[in-house]
Amino acid sequence: MPARTISATRLVPMLGAALDTAPAYRGLADAVRLLVADGRIPVGTRLPSERDLTATLGVSRTTVTRAYAELRDRGYLTSRQGSGSVVALPGDPAGRRQASALHPTAEPGDGAVIDLTCASMSAPAGTVAAYERAVAELPRYLAGTGYHPLGLMALREALAQRFTERGLATTPDQVMVTSGALAGLAVTARALLSPGDRVLLESPTYPNAIETLRRSGARAVGLPLDRGGWDLGAADAALRQTAPRAAYLIPDFHNPTGALMPDAQRAELGAALAGTHTVGVVDETLVDLAHDPAIAMPRPLAAHHPRTVTLGGASKTFWGGLRVGWIRAPRELMPALVGARLTLDLGAPVLEQLVLTDLLAHREEVVADRRTAIVSTRDALIAALRDRLPQWRFRVPEGGLCLWVELPDALSTPLCAAADQRGVVLAPGSQFAVEGGMERYLRLPFTGHPPEVVEDAVERLALAWGDAQSARPTRHGGSPLVA
């Protein structure tokens, strides 16, 4: 595969006020280093030639030459004859990312340890009643084998109707019920990907999706998200340069940033996907979790790019213990998906499908209750962070279950280690990076705990942040090292 490249005209606006720092070469090197460390320039990307960057910046050739030399000395750049200057990360010249799937907590704790790794909620009111009604329905299914590879017709009809209401005409034969959204991704990967196929993923993104695709043999390629969301120019360039077989995307309250892709961007991205014959794989598990009921939700991305597989699940809107998800796909892909599914399992549990069918009939009430709880805890987290850690930056999301926090220093991993000693379990930003970096970021879920526990967690985090800062390594006579 040809190396990914970034042109001088694209790089320069990303540098900000880099040249205002004296000496200029160090300001330029630091700006590029932070872009790499934050994952905004993916590992393996070829930077502009020294001549091109010199001309675009309007500086001396010596400034760019010395900046590139400093980046090489610190491990952020490798240069080989004929390959140009290629982005790397210190201590990991191949740019490989270690396996790091998130492990959800099984039981609530006693308060001694606060787990902030899982963005999920307890079961909503009415769950027991839904199970009772489902048990009453169960006898009519007991005379059969219990195997329903596509899912119960009543549930598929309800899911198809919901897609149609949202602007994506769907019939039940386009829906397959799975054992959760991640299981749906595994089915999709097995159906559509061969070992070595490239898959484009937003970076940051959901760690368990990264690992699912890697274990299928796919080669993950990162699409950096900027602070405001999606950069469609970068997406178009990444698609053209890497020609991925598929693109795994979370346009609805993105995990972990909470960003919502507007309808116009979905149309533009759909055209770019079609232009490279890339199959869209869209994760909609958070689509119901808008924080404001007045938000006008865009149409599903599949409405703009028909060759898209859409994944959904019950875990975020309803309950993680309800292990039911679904796939909505174009008809021409369904035979391959069914064939792949039969190599993994033969159907989701019948009782849980009946429960979800019942809960879907009460979706509006459940979502309204969820919204109240989410916003209450979100506001408590934001207030506590602004009070105790005002130097931490974040954008208040329009929906979803977490904050994506930018730290003042690239200390996410040391912070997590220090927080663990204070009884708070965190996932560092690097776990959400497709190709490395993200050490200046941290995901903080605002669900799973009441506001008072979240406030306690922030108090502990403030102490842990002090611990991490005091323990960070420094160069002799220099500024802190950034990994």
Residue 92 has pLDDT above 70, yes or no: no
Helix (H, G, I), strand (E, B), or coil: what is residue 161? helix
Q: CA-based diameter of the chain, in Å? A: 81
CA 354 to each of CA 177, 220, 361: distance values in angstroms, whole numbers, following the listed order: 12, 36, 11
Amino acid 482: pLDDT:
27
Using CA of residue 403, residue 209, residue 157, residue 324, what is the dihedral sign? negative
Query: Residue 343 and residue 323: Cα distance in Å, rounded?
Result: 19
Report pLDDT digits (tens) over 324-370: 999 999 999 999 999 999 999 999 999 999 999 999 999 999 999 99
Amino acid 91: pLDDT:
65
Structural domain 8-87, CATH architecture: Orthogonal Bundle (1.10)
Question: Which has the minimum average pLDDT: 35-44, 86-95, 128-137, 412-421?
Answer: 86-95
Spatial contact of 357 and 328, defined as CB atoms under 8 Å apart: no
The DSSP code for 148 is -
Amino acid 479: pLDDT:
31
In the block, which residue shows the tokens 């020294």? Answer: 50
Spatial contact of 210 and 434, defined as CB atoms under 8 Å apart: yes
State the DSSP H helix or E strand holding residue 255, giving kind and residue range, or none if neither.
none
How does residue 155 score in pLDDT terms, banded at 50, 70 and 90? very high
How does residue 189 score in pLDDT terms, banded at 50, 70 and 90? very high
Helix (H, G, I), strand (E, B), or coil: what is residue 3? coil
CA 467 to each of CA 323, 396, 471, 472, 473: distance values in angstroms, whole numbers, following the listed order: 39, 27, 6, 9, 12
Of 405, 452, 409, nearest to 432 (Cα)? 405
Query: Residue 117 and residue 394: Cα distance in Å, rounded?
Result: 18
Report pLDDT digits (tens) over 439-480: 999 999 988 788 999 999 999 999 999 999 987 643 333 333
Q: What are phi and psi of 102, to 5 degrees?
A: -75, 145
* Tokens found for residue 135: 């048990």
Of 444, 391, 469, 433, nearest to 38 (Cα)? 433
pTM: 0.84
CATH topology of domain 148-364: Aspartate Aminotransferase; domain 2 (3.40.640)
Bridge partners (DSSP) listed for residue 178 = 325
What mean pLDDT, rounded, does the chain reach? 88
Of 87, 96, 120, 92, nearest to 106 (Cα)? 120
Query: Residue 143 and residue 150: Cα distance in Å, rounded?
Result: 18
Query: Residue 131 and residue 403: Cα distance in Å, rounded?
Result: 33
Domain regions of the chain by residue span: 8-87, 93-123+368-471, 148-364
Report pLDDT digits (tens) over 110-125: 568 899 988 888 888 8
Residue 287 has pLDDT above 80, yes or no: yes
Report pLDDT digits (tens) over 393-405: 999 999 999 999 9
Amino acid 113: pLDDT:
87
Query: Residue 176 and residue 192: Cα distance in Å, rounded?
Result: 15
CATH topology of domain 93-123+368-471: Aspartate Aminotransferase, domain 1 (3.90.1150)
Residue at 298: amino acid letter: P
How does residue 105 score in pLDDT terms, banded at 50, 70 and 90? low
